[in-house]
Amino acid sequence: MIQFLVLFFVVGTAIHLIREKSIPENILKISGNIGEASDFKVSAEKVDSLYFSDRQAPAPEVILPQTVSESRKINLNQATLEELMRLPKIGEVTAQRIINYRIAHNGFANIDELKNVKGIGEKTLERIKNEVSIE
């Protein structure tokens, strides 16, 4: 039993020494220069502010169906993907399906044609019909 413990200790020590020798020392070194660290922090904050300033999502626009004017309605025959995605219950996939349907059928003749687009049923059509137009 004692031989086993001694062998276990020797093997463990050997593994520890091998690992210690194989890790490059310069990777873990910190110079201790506080000014250098603060300069790095300032630079990182500048980069973050530049990088993330463009990526902030705009606040979602809430439009109630009763208050939508004719000029603010989305024209189904000219709307972009982003405009269609502003409609309630219309995500990127459904908006792309609307565009694909519009291209395949040379535009929409009436709003009820939206029911032919996969993902748009009666309930969704009722929610968006006051916010879209056909021109």
pLDDT on residue 19: 75
The three-class DSSP label of residue 75 is strand
pLDDT in tens, 56-85: 555 666 555 544 445 589 999 999 999 999
pLDDT on residue 72: 83
Residue 47, pLDDT > 80, answer no
Q: How many helices (H) and strands (E) does the chain have?
A: 6, 2
Q: Could you give the count of Cα atoms lying within 13 Å of 80 in the half-sphere of its Cβ?
A: 2
